[in-house]
Amino acid sequence: MTVSFPRSLCWIAWLWCLGLGTAWAQQDTADRLWQGAEQQSRQIRRQAVPSRPDGQGSWVHESMLSAWQVPEARVGQLTLAILNAVNQHDWFGADRLLRQYRQVPRHDPALFTFVEASRLAALGDHADAIDRYRQVLQANPLFTRGDLDLARVLFVDNRLRDAQEIFQRLQARPLPPEIERHIADYLAAIEQRTRMRITLSLSAVREDNLNNASTIVDPCALRFLDACFENVPGRKVADTGAYFEGTLNKLWPLAGNHAFMLRSLNYGNRYRHEDDYGNLASTTYLGYQYGSARNQFQFLPLFEYDREGGLKAYHAFGFRTSISRQFSPRAMLEASYETKRRHFAQRLESLEGDFRSIGLFGQYVIRPDLLVYGSLVWRESGARLGIFAYREKSARLGIYKSFGGKVAVNMAYGYRQRQADEAVALFEKRQRDHEGSLYVNVSLPGYAWHGMTPTLSYEYRKNRSSIPHLHTYEKNRLTLGFTKVF
């Protein structure tokens, strides 16, 4: 016998689509936007480090020696030779010259500390290098080269305010034109790292299963008095429309490695005919960040707002905290925890509950134009009705490839397992889902027009469920548009 399910069951299915099916796709979008913003920040840090002035003569100009100018020509000659060795990272040659320098009358012991500071900076031991540079400048406050190298290491170690103060102080001194330009480049790089950055994407979208409908016909979808009833297959709702993404990032450096950070992630869909499936989601983070050359810690209180079908779905307060480590110029790992208390609209009060997630994200740069990344995430979402509460484990593996700076491809495969807290009484089954997804994004930075980069993305999802006639489905989503960074 073929039957239609009661209206109450249709309402439950709609709530599932809103509370679970839609939430999974939106969570993936939020994760992708977050990691995209982090990747953009890392790229800016790598690209914004100015190179040294060309030519050794400019880098060791006599005007930069100041306090070490003494009548003995031998001291001056050895000092210039030692600084040249430091420029070349020739530590064996520097040590040999320092042994000669030690034998010359009126030599300055601070030069030994300067060479050690330079060696530590080259090895990436920025904290000890900064301490040594400050010891040098305490002994020789007018040693311009020491000030310049200290400011450079402070910049690399993400102590942007401290570096900026030294560079601005150096601008007041008479220096060779090459060094003045070098200082100006660093100040511009600091401004680049700390300015407000807005990324906006606008696309046309086509989706073929907005309601996550199952087309499976189960001959025994419902059992009653030892009789089996066959379900009526669902009808997929498809439509075209507009999709947007917008992110905002701003950093306010404090003294040392400390800063305040603002980040806002926003995205939404509007369809031509199916208004009930339009949505708008916004999450804003504002809080504390500690950042050095290798380590980063964030504690960011958050506010989230979600709107579905033109009506408010919920708002939430919570926080996100994370620790990341740059193990090498190629390898990075981040661990994060996020929690939020959601307040749903009255019509959705069955979904009321807190949300928690623990994540691990890593990436490895194989070449400057090729990197791989992956994530492991555990999530728990509470709800007043246990059939809507769930626990979830997911994994994602992706690859990013740039082709000559003209075309960039980002491709990722995701797998997710989730289980509801309680069984659906009507079917005497607990919902258990296994979802596979494929995401492909192609951008064309080499063909940008007025700063607008053409983009195309495709997303495929296939969900297999323990209640297949309700929750097993496939869907495809295609977007075509442009992205602009302000």
Residues 48-78 pLDDT 10s: 667 666 444 445 454 455 444 444 567 778 8
Same domain, 240 and 331: yes
| 172-190: pLDDT as tens digits | 888 888 889 999 999 999 9
Higher pLDDT, 258 or 222: 258
**What pLDDT sits at residue 14?**
53
Q: What is the DSSP letter of 275?
A: G
Domain identity same for 165 and 230 = no
Q: How many domains does the chain have?
A: 2
Contact between 308 and 275 under an 8 Å Cβ cutoff? The reply is: no
CA dihedral 203, 207, 212, 214 (to 10 degrees): -170
Token match 């070098």: residue? 182
Residue 24 pLDDT grade (very low, low, confident, very high; cuts 50, 70, 90): low
Distance CA(238)–CA(440), nearest Å, equals: 20
Dist. CA 171–CA 90, nearest whole Å: 29
Residue 54 resides in a domain: no
**Percentage of residues in the chain having pLDDT higher than 90:** 72
Place of tokens 């603002």: 262
Q: Has residue 23 got a pLDDT over 80?
A: no
Please tell me the total number of residues recorded for the chain in this structure. Answer: 486
Q: Measured between alpha carbons, how far is 150 from 155 in angstroms, rounded to an integer?
A: 9
409, 314: one domain: yes
CATH number for 156:
1.25.40.10
Residue 464 belongs to a domain: yes
Mean pLDDT of the chain: 89
**SS3 for 347?**
helix
258 and 169 in one domain?
no
Q: Are both 319 and 354 inside the same structural domain?
A: yes
Instruction: Indicate whether 216 and 164 sit together in one domain.
Output: no
Instruction: Say what the pTM is.
Output: 0.88
459 in the same domain as 406: yes
| Residues 457 and 402 reside in one and the same domain | yes
Between 199 and 140, where is the model more confident? 199
We report the CATH number of the domain holding residue 300 as 2.40.160.40
Phi, psi of 290 (to 5 degrees): -105, 125
Query: Region 153-160: what's the mean pLDDT?
Result: 96
Question: Is position 221 within any domain?
Answer: yes
Residue 145 has phi, psi (to 5 degrees) of -60, -40
**pLDDT tens across 269-307, in order?**
999 999 999 999 999 999 999 999 999 999 999 999 999
Q: What range does the domain containing 145 cover?
A: 62-175
SS3 249: strand
Say yes or no: 166 and 209 in one domain.
no
